Structure 1
Amino acid sequence: MKKIVGVLVAGVLSLGTAVWGGEWIRVNQLGYLPASPKVAVYMSDEAVDVESYALVDDCTGEEVMRFDNPRPTAVWGQMQRTYRLDFSGCNRPGIYRLRAGKTFSPRFVIGPRVYDGTADFILRYMRQQRCGFNPFERDSCHTHDGYIVYHPIRSGQHIDVRGGWHDASDQLQYVTTSANATYQMMFAYLKNPEVYGDAYDANGLPGANGIPDIVDEIKWGLDWLNRMNPSRGEMYNQIADDRDHKGFKLPSQDDIDYGWGKGLGRPVYYCSGEPQVRGEFTNATTGVASTAGKYASCFALGAQVLADYYPEMADTLLAKARDAYRHGVEHPGVCQTASVVSPYIYEECNWTDDMELAAAQLYLSTGESSYLQAAVEYGRFEPVTPWMGADSARHYQWYPFINLGHYHLAGVDDRRVSREFTRNLRSGLERVLERAQDNPFLNGVPAIWCSNNLTAAVATQCRLYRELTGDDRYREMEASLIDWLFGCNPWGTSMITELPLWGDYPVDPHTPLIALKVGTTVGGLVDGPVYASIFNNLRGVRLSREDPYVPFQSADVVYHDDMQDYSTNEPTMDGTASLSYLLSSLQREGIETAGPDRNEYACGGIVRTDRSQRQISLVFTAADKNDGAQRILETLEKCGVQGSFFFTGEFYERFPQTVQALHKAGHYVGAHSDGHLLYCAWERRDSTLIDQSLFEQDMQAVYGRMSRAGIDPSQTRIFIPPYEYYNETIAAWARGMGLRIVNFTPGTWTNADYTTPDMKNYRSNRAIYNRVMEVEKREGLNGHILLFHLGTDERRTDKFYDRYLERLIRTLQKRGYIFTTLPEAVGK
Structure 2
Amino acid sequence: MKNKSFLIIALLSISWLLTSFISEKRKQEQRWIRINLLGYPTEAVKVAVWASKTDEVPASFEIVEKETGNIVYTSSHIKRFGSYGPFKQTARLNFSDFKKQGNFYIRANGTTSPLLLINDEVYKGAADFCLQYMRQQRSGFNPYLKDSCHTHDGFVLYGAKAGIKDSTHFDASGGWHDASDYLQYSTTTANATYHLLMAYRDYPQVFGDKQQANGLDGKNGRADILDEAKWGLDWLLKMHPKKNIMFNQLADDRDHISMRIPKEDSQYGKGFERPLYFITGEPQQRGKFMNNTTGTSSTAAKFTSAFNLGAVLFKADRNYARLLVKKAKTAYRFALQKPGVTQTASVKSPYIYAEDNWVDDMELAEVSFNFSGEKVQQKKVTKALQYAGQESITPWMQKDTAAHYQYYPFINLGHYEVAKQEKGKTAASYYKQGIEKVWNRAKNNAFYRGVPFIWCSNNLTVAFAMQCNWYGILSGDTAYTELEQANVDWLFGCNPWGTSMVYGLPEWADTPRDPHSAFTHLKGYPINGGLVDGPVYTSIYKSLIGIKLNEADEYADFQSDLAVYHDDYGDYSTNEPTMDGTASLIYLLAAKEAQAKTPTGHSTFYLGANIRRDSTQKKIYLVFTGDEFGDGGEKINAVLDRKEVKVSFFLTGNFYRNPNFNGLIKKLKSKGHYLGPHSDQHLLYCDWTKRDSLLVTKMQFEKDLNNNYNAMAAFGIKKAEAKYFLPPYEWYNKTIANWSREQGLALINFTPGTKSNADYTYPEMGKRYRSSDEIFKSITSFNENGPNGLNGFILLMHIGTDSRRSDKFYNRLAELITYLKAAGYKLDRIDN
CA distance in 1, matches of 2:27, 2:234: 50
Q: Is the 8 A contact 2:103 2:117 kept in 1?
A: yes
The match for 1:198 is 209
How far apart are 1:590 and its partner, in Å? 3.1
How many residue pairs get matched? 582
2:532 to 526, 534, 551: 526
1:351 to 353, 358, 382: 358
CA distance in 1, matches of 2:37, 2:284: 45
* Matching of residues 382-397 of structure 1 within 5 Å: 382-397=391-406
Paired residue secondary structure (1:364): coil
CA distance in 2, matches of 1:426, 1:317: 33
How far apart are 1:87 and its partner, in Å? 0.3
What are structure 2's unaligned runs of at least 5 residues? 1-24, 606-698, 703-741, 746-832
Q: Does 2:236 correspond to 1:225?
A: yes
CA distance in 2, matches of 1:67, 1:509: 38
Q: Does 2:371 correspond to 1:371?
A: no
What do residues 357-376 of structure 1 show as CA deviations (whole Å, max 9, x unaligned)? 00011133352222222211
The match for 2:260 is 249
What do residues 528-550 of structure 1 show as CA deviations (whole Å, max 9, x unaligned)? 00001111111111211110101
* Matching of residues 12-91 of structure 1 within 5 Å: 21-91=29-99
Q: Is the 8 A contact 1:147 1:159 kept in 2?
A: yes
2:117 to 109, 112, 135: 109
How far apart are 1:48 and its partner, in Å? 0.8
CA distance in 2, matches of 1:200, 1:364: 28
Q: Is the 8 A contact 2:286 2:350 kept in 1?
A: no
1:438 to 420, 433, 444: 444
The match for 2:295 is 287
Paired residue secondary structure (1:30): coil
CA distance in 2, matches of 1:96, 1:311: 52
Distance 1:202 1:434, change over 3 A: same
Q: Is the 8 A contact 2:81 2:446 kept in 1?
A: yes
What do residues 334-379 of structure 1 show as CA deviations (whole Å, max 9, x unaligned)? 0000001000000000000001000011133352222222211111
CA distance in 1, matches of 2:487, 2:92: 14
CA distance in 1, matches of 2:147, 2:491: 32
Q: Is the 8 A contact 1:389 1:444 kept in 2?
A: no
How far apart are 1:592 and its partner, in Å? 4.0
Q: Is the 8 A contact 1:74 1:438 kept in 2?
A: no
2:456 to 440, 450, 462: 450
Q: Is the 8 A contact 1:281 1:340 kept in 2?
A: no
CA distance in 2, matches of 1:74, 1:137: 49
1:150 to 154, 158, 164: 158
CA distance in 2, matches of 1:48, 1:276: 56
Q: Does 2:147 correspond to 1:135?
A: no
* Overall identity of the aligned pairs, in %: 49
The match for 1:819 is none
Paired residue secondary structure (2:397): coil
How far apart are 1:454 and its partner, in Å? 0.3
CA distance in 1, matches of 2:87, 2:538: 17
CA distance in 1, matches of 2:286, 2:597: 52
Q: Is the 8 A contact 1:360 1:372 kept in 2?
A: yes
CA distance in 2, matches of 1:181, 1:486: 21
2:223 to 207, 212, 216: 212
Paired residue secondary structure (1:66): strand
Counterpart of 2:409, as a letter, is: P
CA distance in 2, matches of 1:407, 1:363: 13
The match for 1:501 is 507
Q: Is the 8 A contact 1:535 1:567 kept in 2?
A: yes
Distance 1:18 1:202, change over 3 A: farther
2:170 to 132, 144, 159: 159
The match for 2:548 is 542
Q: Is the 8 A contact 1:389 1:434 kept in 2?
A: no
Q: Is the 8 A contact 1:525 1:576 kept in 2?
A: yes
How far apart are 1:55 and its partner, in Å? 1.4
Q: Does 2:463 correspond to 1:463?
A: no
The match for 1:325 is 332
Q: Is the 8 A contact 1:23 1:102 kept in 2?
A: no
CA distance in 2, matches of 1:441, 1:536: 24
Q: Does 2:315 correspond to 1:307?
A: yes
The match for 2:752 is none
CA distance in 2, matches of 1:211, 1:40: 39
CA distance in 2, matches of 1:364, 1:333: 25
CA distance in 2, matches of 1:471, 1:272: 44
CA distance in 2, matches of 1:52, 1:224: 55
- Between 291-300 and 510-519, the greater mean CA deviation after superposition: 510-519
Paired residue secondary structure (1:252): coil
What are structure 1's unaligned runs of at least 5 residues? 1-16, 597-778, 783-823
How far apart are 1:77 and its partner, in Å? 2.8
Paired residue secondary structure (1:43): strand
What do residues 505-546 of structure 1 show as CA deviations (whole Å, max 9, x unaligned)? 000000001221240321000000000111111111121111
Distance 1:311 1:566, change over 3 A: same
Q: Root-mean-square deviation (CA), in Å?
A: 2.4
Paired residue secondary structure (2:156): strand
Paired residue secondary structure (1:292): helix
Distance 1:251 1:20, change over 3 A: farther
Q: Is the 8 A contact 2:57 2:91 kept in 1?
A: no
CA distance in 1, matches of 2:558, 2:158: 47
The match for 1:126 is 134
The match for 1:267 is 275
Distance 1:254 1:474, change over 3 A: same
How far apart are 1:421 and its partner, in Å? 1.3
What do residues 734-768 of structure 1 show as CA deviations (whole Å, max 9, x unaligned)? xxxxxxxxxxxxxxxxxxxxxxxxxxxxxxxxxxx
* Matching of residues 658-697 of structure 1 within 5 Å: none
CA distance in 2, matches of 1:477, 1:74: 19
TM-score, normalised via structure 1 length: 0.68
CA distance in 2, matches of 1:299, 1:215: 13
What do residues 421-460 of structure 1 show as CA deviations (whole Å, max 9, x unaligned)? 1110100000111110222210200000000000000100
Paired residue secondary structure (1:148): strand
Q: Is the 8 A contact 2:294 2:341 kept in 1?
A: yes
The match for 1:94 is 102
Q: Is the 8 A contact 1:281 1:339 kept in 2?
A: no
Q: Is the 8 A contact 1:37 1:88 kept in 2?
A: yes
How far apart are 1:278 and its partner, in Å? 6.0
Q: Is the 8 A contact 1:202 1:209 kept in 2?
A: yes
Distance 1:159 1:40, change over 3 A: same
Counterpart of 2:341, as a letter, is: V
How far apart are 1:76 and its partner, in Å? 2.0
How far apart are 1:580 and its partner, in Å? 2.0
CA distance in 1, matches of 2:579, 2:260: 18
The match for 2:183 is 172
Q: Is the 8 A contact 2:502 2:532 kept in 1?
A: yes
What do residues 156-193 of structure 1 show as CA deviations (whole Å, max 9, x unaligned)? 10000110000000000001111000001111110000
CA distance in 1, matches of 2:415, 2:57: 44
Counterpart of 2:354, as a letter, is: E
What do residues 595-623 of structure 1 show as CA deviations (whole Å, max 9, x unaligned)? 99xxxxxxxxxxxxxxxxxxxxxxxxxxx
